[in-house]
Chains A and B, each alone.
Chain A
Amino acid sequence: MSDEAREAVGDYKFGFHDPENATIRFDKGLSEQVVRDISELKNEPEWMTDLRVKAYHHFIQREMPDWGNCSELNNIDFDNVTYFLRSSDATENDWDDVPDDIKNTFDRLGIPEAEQKWLGGVTAQYESEAVYHSIREDLEDQGVLFLDMDSGLREHPELVKKFFGTVIPYGDNKFSALNTAVWSGGSFIYVPKGVHVEMPVQAYFRINAKNMGQFERTLIIADEGSSLHYVEGCTAPTYSTDSLHSAVVELIAMKGAKIRYSTIQNWSANVYNLVTKRGVAHENATVEWVDGNIGSKLTMKYPSVVLKGEGAHAEVISVAYAGAGQHQDAGAKVHHLAPNTTSSILSKSISKNGGRSSYRGMLQVTPKAHGCRSKVVCDALMLDSDSRSDTYPTMEVGNSTADLEHEASVSKVSGDQLFYLMSRGFSEEEAMGLIVNGFFEPFTRELPMEYAVELNKLLELEMEGSIG
């Protein structure tokens, strides 16, 4: 960052531009010492160090999940992962090292070069930071806390301590244990009572893209009657030399609050993307996940909502796109713990060129939860006969008053559709692109405009060269 830029943004809290923090990279592999070192380096309070260590021990003895794509999971070499990388390192990556196909995709998505570099973590972009900074000031005036997780812990230790790990305890699964042990980066957001926030989309993710580690940890608390729409991710491929990404995202919507968390992730094909996302909705609160998964070698991700208070509502809309050599194992989980809670799950997946997509869903209604309603719709579209799609829905219904609907469909692109579109001047690839975009439309229309446009373009690009 230039001095001029630094001056403009003032005292910059993230620290990753601070020259003192330059290049700290741990050796590969994990041990209790590595975990302690991470914590010490960050100057964390003792309770966090202890939590990390406990989580580490749990991770070590916890079995790998015996469901999902276990054979692929067992290919992960935990000793060959770098568990801590100071963010400033990321800026030292050379844009020249980013593979050509990824650069091409940037170009063709119409993302200009300056931005490409920014997303690639090469250069700081003065403008975005300035924009970002002013947005932050705006939020601060309303009492909104919006920090990266490390700063959140430093500056608001009590609040973090109160909520961290309450939605997703380290013992939840092997990967939440791993994340708790080695987490770094991610976001911490607190929205005070009655405040309504629409997060700055592009500005934020561009900042955050740089700061994001492999094990980011996000905690969002929306206090009573407040609302937040948070957008994370990027349609451009996230190139990563490291192959394991394991994030944890915890959302807490207090009475009458509403949180919508939208993500599109497009990982490079070498990545294991194993993310735990869960939100708690208290009385009359709403938690919504809008979740798009493209790329990666294996994604296992099931955004969940715990409907804890009466009248709470959950909404999960997800899409997955599995190309050659990819397995998208995605879905949603909703737990109806309180009466008159409602949920709606829409899952759409596309598989192509031998890719595999699975829907894995869990719907639970506890005996106390009277008068619940839930609707689950999962649609799969297969673009060729080499590809695979399967569904694993689980229902545990302990209350007979529940009103539950489940619809599932698997379809193929029909010859009639292709002929029709081609007779209107579209090449076969363009026709496929249109059909695919149309299939994802119920998801795309939930996205901010610029994302929707980028996603559609990306899917059209994916269709190119795919027809034999």
Chain B
Amino acid sequence: MSVTDEVLRVENLHVSVDDTPILNGMNLTINRGEIHVVMGRNGAGKSTLASVVMGHPDYEITSGSIFYMGTNIDEMTVFERARAGMFLSFQYPAVIPGVQVGTFLKKSVQSVHDEPLKGRAFRKELNAAMATLEMQKSVLSRYVNDGFSGGEKKRLEILQMLLLKPTLALLDETDSGLDIDALRIVAKGINSVAPQAGCLIITHYQRLLDHVQPHYVHVMIDGTIVRTGGPELALKLEEQGYDWLEEPQEVEA
């Protein structure tokens, strides 16, 4: 694989919030076309990783660096990262009262792609993406995430991903709270973006992986990756939980 295919590289990343360390020496490299899955117990630091890669100001990088497309992005603001092609599907998407989904999507695509949108072309693309995700048109006139069910929020996140066409997609528990049909539909969305992007999927459940084929599965404990494997690792975790990883040397030997 050539160097130019590298989308994300996280190097020995240490991150704190209010002087409490959360990430303790993360290392991760994602190349274009790769799907990486990160699993781990509640509180392991998975969302923190996604937030810090996206540039959340509350998290302090105490050492280490993040490279996007080969460039150190430590100094980039959140919106600069978004405009550079990074995308985060939130575990808990924020509610923006009074702002209609349609307006929001259009403005967002405009900001990220930095060009005035042709109304008709945009509508066409929007219609197609909504059809893929089997979404109702009426969503467009609702307010962003306001009164949305858990599954509706996740579907809207994926709709945004389809429209923004990111180079790096960070998907934080996008599968949580989805019914069986919705899971399949969301997976379809992920699969349509994945070949052109690097994907980091944070999940607790194996079931998404029936629809999305990961290249790597990482297990995170206490802010660091303790093990990396293929799809079989996710199956094993599903069966055995995380305990066996706590004393990895002995169990493995």
Query: A residues near B, CB below 8 A?
Result: 414-417, 419-428, 430, 434-435, 437-442
Contact = CB atoms under 8 A, between A and B. Distances in A.
Given A422-B77, A425-B79, A438 B108 contact: no
Given A415-B58, A434-B104, A434-B107, A423 B98 contact: no
A9 to B, nearest CB: 38
Nearest to A439: B98
B56 interface: yes
B112 interface: yes
Given A415-B58, A434-B107, A420 B143 contact: no
Contacts of B112: 424-425
Interface string B144-171: 1000000000000000100010000000
Contacts of A441: 97-99, 143
A420 B96 contact: yes
Given A417-B96, A441-B99, A423 B111 contact: no
A292 to B, nearest CB: 15
A424 B104 CA distance: 9
B88 A423 contact: yes
Contacts of B109: 425
B93 interface: yes
Given A421-B96, A425-B112, A438-B96, 15 more contacts: A414-B94, A416-B94, A419-B94, A420-B93, A420-B94, A423-B79, A424-B104, A424-B108, A425-B79, A425-B82, A425-B111, A428-B77, A430-B111, A434-B99, A435-B99
Contacts of B51: 419
Given A425-B112, A426-B111, A419 B99 contact: no
Nearest to B108: A424
B83 interface: yes
B87 interface: yes
Contacts of B143: 438, 441
Contacts of B56: 419
Contacts of A427: 77, 79, 111
Contacts of B93: 420
Contacts of B83: 425
Contacts of A414: 94
A422 B82 contact: yes
B235 to A, nearest CB: 32
A195 B79 CA distance: 53
17 contacts: A414-B94, A419-B54, A419-B56, A421-B96, A424-B112, A425-B79, A425-B82, A426-B107, A426-B108, A427-B111, A434-B107, A438-B96, A438-B97, A438-B98, A438-B99, A438-B144, A441-B97
Contacts of A419: 51, 54, 56-57, 78, 94
B242 interface: no
A221 B98 CA distance: 35
B90 interface: yes
Contact of B96 (A423, A425, A428, A434): A434
Nearest to A436: B98
Nearest to B81: A423
A404 B108 CA distance: 41
Nearest to A417: B94
Interface in B94-133: 94-99, 104, 107-112
Contacts of B96: 417, 420-421, 434-435, 438
Contacts of B57: 415, 419
A422 B78 contact: yes
Contacts of B99: 434-435, 437-438, 441
Given A419-B56, A419-B78, A434-B104, A424 B98 contact: no
B97 A423 contact: no
Contacts of B81: 423
Contact of B97 (A420, A421, A439): A439
A353 to B, nearest CB: 21
Contacts of A442: 98
B153 to A, nearest CB: 11
Given A438-B96, A440-B98, A423 B78 contact: yes
Contacts of A428: 77, 79
A439 B51 CA distance: 26
Contacts of A422: 77-79, 82
A416 B95 CA distance: 9
Nearest to A444: B98
A442 B143 CA distance: 12
B98 A425 contact: no
Contacts of A434: 96, 99, 104, 107
Q: Which 4 A-B pairs have the closest CB atoms?
A: A438-B98, A441-B98, A425-B111, A425-B112
B107 A423 contact: no
Contacts of B90: 420, 423
B66 to A, nearest CB: 15
Contacts of A417: 94-96
